[in-house]
Amino acid sequence: GCTATQTFTITEPTVLIASAAAQTNVSCNSGSNGSATVSATGGTAGYTYSWSPSGGTAATASGLTAGTYTATVTDANGCTATQSFTLTEPTILVASPAAQTNVSCNSGSNGSATVSATGGTGTYTYSWSPSGGTAATASGLTAGTYTVTVTDANSCTTTQTFTITEPATALTALPVAQTNIACNSGSTGSATVSATGGTPSYTYSWSPSGGTAATASGLTAGTYTATVTDANGCTATQTFTITEPATALTASPAAQTNVSCNSGSNGSATVSATGGTPSYTYSWSPSGGTAATASGLIAGTYTATVTDANGCTATQTFTITEPTVLIASAAAQTNVSCNSGSNGSATVSATGGTAGYTYSWSPSGGTAATASGLTAGTYTATVTDANGCTATQSFTITEPTVL
């Protein structure tokens, strides 16, 4: 009845943490001068790094375009941690005509033009060529063509051209309205041209498509040229660049957990939305709620629909699976040979579920598939699979009557 004990203390490293140390966003739309730096702490020193979808194998990834990048830090024990960076870029810097006053008298110099700058990174500076000063409005202009260059705070540039007319000068076509496309690859764009000068009345044609009216609609993204022709056959053109969201709205699988036990309801799925125009909303069918992650799912097929701020949609389908039913069945049984003996045995066989079975016997019998040294009585074998699902099988061990 004497006993002795020994205590062991098992240690573990601190949690390996990957955190954002620095981030430089792209300075100009569609540029590639972004960078991100990940910092690793905890775990076991001697870290290595990898970046996805690109970025190299150093703590700092550079030369990046706008998008989401994931840094994976691996310590000396092979433990990993991740940190995501979302590098942004400014919207496209656009210079558009806000106002224009043509010369009122032939050979006069009271023309003016005003540019409106949008997108990029404020504040803006302006320069006019061949003359016009450094403000958004150039005044005191003679008839001619003037180009304003708009430079934003990141030194990104764009230009807009104005043609100042005077009486009896050539026909001029001016942009008066433009509607860009709401959804990538859509065809909801429109552009309207206005004709001035020349000799009314005017006719219109658009290239490569757009019809014969002042307004072209149903346009896809691209560059369109409106040609205005006056009664004398004089022509003037205006080019419109119809834009669309930089990338298509995409719904992609971010995570999935299948049901652990047959007929269970602990499945989950997570959808990731990129592109389009943030912010995003989510809906799941036939069930799953309105968040990016649907949980409490049974086995089956689920479709996540992502809707962006412009009403564009994208879908992603997940198939949640489950194991086959875990079954414990009697494989063999040996009854006690003599009354009051203890040479009985029973063997349980496990099928289905998730392989990697463990066994327990009640009220006794050990932890193997076969329980031996049994006396007469009823024994229950419990089989547990790798997912923690269980199934049972009972055995009744008999013995002869007393000799």
Alpha carbon separation from 304 to 18, 97, 251, 286, 343 (Å, rounded): 30, 42, 8, 9, 59
What CATH number does the domain located at 17-87 have?
2.60.40
Beta-strand relationship, 94-101 and 111-118: antiparallel
Q: In a 3-state reduction of DSSP, which class is residue 16?
A: coil
Q: What is the pLDDT of residues 298-350, one digit of tens each?
A: 999 999 999 999 999 999 999 999 999 999 999 999 999 999 999 999 999 99
What average pLDDT score do residues 90-100 get? 97
pLDDT of residue 230: 82
pLDDT of residue 121: 95
* CATH architecture, domain defined by 250-320: Sandwich (2.60)
Q: In a 3-state reduction of DSSP, which class is residue 279?
A: coil
Which pLDDT band, with edges at 50, 70 and 90, does 282 fall under? very high
**Average pLDDT, rounded, for the chain:** 96
Which pLDDT band, with edges at 50, 70 and 90, does 106 fall under? low
pLDDT of residue 32: 97
Is residue 60 scored above 70 in pLDDT?
Answer: yes
Q: Hey, what long-range contacts does 111-115 have (CB within 8 A, 24 or more apart)?
A: 111/139, 111/140, 111/141, 111/142, 111/143, 111/164, 111/166, 112/137, 112/138, 112/139, 112/140, 112/141, 113/137, 113/138, 113/141, 113/146, 113/148, 113/162, 113/164, 114/138, 115/148, 115/150, 115/160, 115/162
Which pLDDT band, with edges at 50, 70 and 90, does 197 fall under? confident
Q: Which residue spans of the chain are classified as CATH 2.60.40?
A: 17-87, 250-320, 327-397
Q: What is the pLDDT of residues 111-165, one digit of tens each?
A: 999 999 999 998 999 999 999 999 999 999 999 999 999 999 999 999 999 999 8
**Would you state the structure tokens that stand for residue 386, as one six-digit string?**
């790798």
**Would you state the structure tokens that stand for residue 28, as one six-digit string?**
């100009």
**Would you state the structure tokens that stand for residue 118, as one six-digit string?**
């949008």
Return d(Cα 49, Cα 36) in angstroms, integer.
Answer: 12
For residue 77, the tally of other CB atoms under 10 A from its CB is 12
**Would you state the structure tokens that stand for residue 389, as one six-digit string?**
């699902």
pLDDT of residue 92: 97
Task: Please say whether the dihedral angle defined by the alpha carbons of residues 116, 120, 124 and 127, taken in this order, is positive or negative.
Answer: negative
Is residue 37 scored above 80 in pLDDT?
Answer: yes
What CATH number does the domain located at 327-397 have?
2.60.40
What average pLDDT score do residues 255-268 get? 98
For the ranges 11-25, 108-122, 226-240, the lowest mean pLDDT is seen at 226-240
**Would you state the structure tokens that stand for residue 330, as one six-digit string?**
């009697």
Do residues 228 and 202 lie in contact, with contact meaning Cβ atoms separated by under 8 Å? Answer: yes
Nearest to 103 by CA among 49, 149, 168: 168
Write the CB contacts of 152 (distance below 8 Å, at least 6 apart in sequence): 90, 93, 117, 120, 121, 122, 123, 124
Is residue 198 scored above 80 in pLDDT?
Answer: no
**Distance between first and last Cα of the chain:** 36
